[in-house]
Amino acid sequence: MTKRIYFDNAATTPLDPEVLAAMMPYLTEHFGNPSSIYSYGRETRMGIENARKTVAKLLNAHPAEIFFTSGGTESSNTAINAAIADLGCKHIITSPIEHHATLHTVEHLQNAHNIKLSYLKILENGHVDLHHLEQILADSKEKCFVTLMHANNEIGNITDIEAVGNICKKFNAIFHSDTVQTVGHFPFNLRELPVHFITGAAHKFHGPKGVGMLYINENIKIHPFIQGGAQERNMRAGTENVYGIIGFAKALELATANYETNSTYIRSLKTYMMEQLKMHIPGIGFNGDTSNNSLYTVLNVSFPKTEKSEMLLFNLDIHNICASGGSACTSGADQGSHVIRAFNNNPNKVAVRFSFSKHNTKEEIDEVIQHLKTMI
């Protein structure tokens, strides 16, 4: 079989062999339930708490602020629901280009609990209008909850969440940021960052699927979203995903240790692909901000709409090239990208997201370019 070229790392990444090695003892001999009081349980409990300390240290947070979940969706749902149920927020402010884990949750809360919901304007380059945020907060009579993602999963635009946090602080608003695309890809200093909640998902940085993280600032007190047990210090019921948690911590440790080398290399791949596309494919463009104020792993390309290009993802797949038309979480529904529509609704373009990891090469990019020349 021809080797596959995998350019959809924003959807998920391959598991790092070192992460698998760290997980294996907890898939075999360390199988005890962490809630058990005998030695098997104490061993797995110690593994979880050591992982928590590792994650907290790498993010410069306190271990008591780190809670393990099933992934980014659960983490965001927990934070958003808690803001309404526990923190007295009556007005949600978000953007139309958020992940559906956020958008669908805030829409549900608006309908079920009559919560006021405001969407920020999106600028021509795909960035969120922070002046509009300040204006809405200044005009609001209710306590506000702001939820804005750090980096957009489709176009890669990065929002200055420190600036957002400071605006929220000025108006006493609660701030949650979906950081699923940036935890493991950028350094964080949560002691200094003015944010109440952030999220992470291990499979975005070469960890296992099915495990995530929610940071809850120590000054915030909320009730559990999932009921039924005392796990995660009474915050998240259900037997812990022990080997997943071990994998999360190890993946974050490796990502942080190799950040400078990996980010420089992956950014060079993105730049190289941009150059090659402009050189060889007439009429292409790029969606979002392609400056350094963007995610170095993501490149969203607009191709001229033709009979051929409308079948582009299908034809790439035939040639064993994996790419995405947008978020993999909604790839089963051919509705186009809600992100692209929010700021650049051009029906004569076909958008494809290429996203890179440390395992990709310039040779792979050259091969993709050669195939694209025959497909467009």
Residues known to be catalytic: 329
Please give the Cα distance from 209 to 329 (Å, whole number): 14
How many helices (H) and strands (E) are present in the chain, helices listed first? 12, 12
What is the DSSP secondary structure assignment for residue 1, as one 8-state letter? -
AA identity, residue 111: N
φ, ψ dihedrals at 353, nearest 5° = -100, 125
CA 266, 267, 271, 272 torsion: positive or negative?
negative
Strand partners, 128: 122
Specify whether the CB–CB gap between 81 and 227 falls below 8 A. Answer: no
Contact 331, 322 (CB under 8 A): no
Tokens 């292409």 belong to residue: 284
Question: How is residue 78 written in tokens?
Answer: 């927990």
Q: Which residues contact 136 (CB under 8 A, 6 or more apart)?
A: 93, 118, 120, 144
> Is 59 in contact with 53 (CB distance < 8 Å)?
no
Which of 80, 375, 31 is closest to 216 using CA atoms? 80
Side chain identity at residue 216, one-letter code: I
Query: What is the widest separation between alpha-carbon atoms in the chain?
Result: 67
